[in-house]
Amino acid sequence: MSDAQTAGASLLAVSDLRTWFHTDQGVARAVDGVSFEVRGRETLGIVGESGCGKTVTSLSVLGLLPQPPAKIQEGSSIRFEGEELVGASTKRMRALRGNEISMIFQEPMSSLNPVYKVGDQIGEALRLHRGMNKRASRAEAVRLLTEVGIPEPDRRVDEYPHQLSGGMRQRVMIAMALSCEPQLLIADEPTTALDVTIQAQILELLASLRDSHGMAVLLITHDLGVVAEVCDRVVVMYAGQVVETGTVHEIFQDPQHPYTRGLLDSLPSVDDPGQRLRSIPGTVPNPIAWPHGCRFKDRCSLAGPGCEKPQDLVELGVDRAARCWRVES
């Protein structure tokens, strides 16, 4: 099924997504006009600090946000293989979840149900979407465990989450997500909660599975190192908006937006050891009250007169854009 996915064809098209939260203190515009596209067989990374709206974006795609207080605003569009997901029926969304679009989360320990066996949880999607019986789904779960690199899968399949290490649990989550051969895998900070050495292993696993299954991946992370490893194209988010897009090469070699530059600068470099770590001064503003004009201007070293009005995305080429008036020059 996934081999029929044509590289380059638009798989997920998000257009002007606005997800707002209604709270006691006001309306938090967590995602405020975000557009991007994930194509067949490609890996798109969404990067940004915590609080920029990237997780909310990913949850909005699958409709996993509780509808009070969250609300996807009118005019937002999320199209999967041409089908509009915003406003789709719960039944349709449920048919897609775990089936055509899968998601893995940040904390593997708390994301697995502690009272059910691992194999049971992996097989659940298979029983639901493929109508398998218990025996068949268990056998398939064993196969999946092998595929994600867990040794002794026959034994592990009947174990409980607390009996596995962090890295293994994340592999189980991946197995669970892959069970129905989804077209698109959404990975929300999959390695953030893991040790550095395990991180590398999991990323490698994701990359190889992506290739062997021919699926597209939407990877959410705050870590540019992860982006460099696995992604083809990048979307940089800040304060609920997209501030820069481009391929990995373009972003790393020639960042256009000051925020992107700041992110890259703050990466410790092997080349000049002993150099003081640079960070972006200030903190992410409060989504209930985004600043007027450019939302980054209070932290930007290049702030100037043009920053007073809200910035539009400036097209710089095919799939290349930045939200800053300075790039036009």
Binding site for other proteins (CB under 8 A): 62, 64, 93-99, 102-103, 105, 107, 110-116, 124-125, 128-129, 160, 162-163, 173, 176
CB-side neighbour CA atoms (13 Å) of 61: 33
Instruction: Please identify, using beta-carbon distances, which residue of 128 and 207 lies nearer to other proteins.
Output: 128
Q: How far is the CB of 122 from other proteins (least distance, A)?
A: 10
Contacts of 183 (CB under 8 A, 6+ apart): 1, 2, 5, 11, 40, 81, 100, 101, 215, 216
Q: How far is the CB of 248 from other proteins (least distance, A)?
A: 27
Q: How far is the CB of 253 from other proteins (least distance, A)?
A: 36
Instruction: Please identify, using beta-carbon distances, which residue of 216 and 307 lies nearer to other proteins.
Output: 216
Instruction: Please identify, using beta-carbon distances, which residue of 176 and 322 lies nearer to other proteins.
Output: 176
Dihedral sign (CA 255, 257, 263, 268): positive
Query: What gap in Å lies between CA 175 and CA 104, rounded to an integer?
Result: 10
Q: How far is the CB of 125 from other proteins (least distance, A)?
A: 5
Q: How far is the CB of 232 from other proteins (least distance, A)?
A: 24
Q: How far is the CB of 99 from other proteins (least distance, A)?
A: 6
| Residue of 160, 16, 21 lying closest to 74 (CA atoms) | 16
Q: How far is the CB of 133 from other proteins (least distance, A)?
A: 17
Instruction: Please identify, using beta-carbon distances, which residue of 145 and 243 lies nearer to other proteins.
Output: 145
One DSSP character per residue, 115-146 reads TS-HHHHHHHHHHHHS---HHHHHHHHHHHHH
Instruction: Please identify, using beta-carbon distances, which residue of 110 and 279 lies nearer to other proteins.
Output: 110
**Structure-derived torsion over alpha carbons of residues 239, 240, 246, 247, reported in degrees to the nearest 10:** 100
Using alpha carbons only, give the angle 124, 125, 128 rounded to the nearest 5 degrees. Answer: 90
Instruction: Please identify, using beta-carbon distances, which residue of 178 and 234 lies nearer to other proteins.
Output: 178
Six token digits for residue 6: 């044509």
The amino acid at residue 109 is M
Instruction: Please identify, using beta-carbon distances, which residue of 18 and 97 lies nearer to other proteins.
Output: 97
Query: φ, ψ for residue 315 (rounded to 5)?
Result: -70, 130
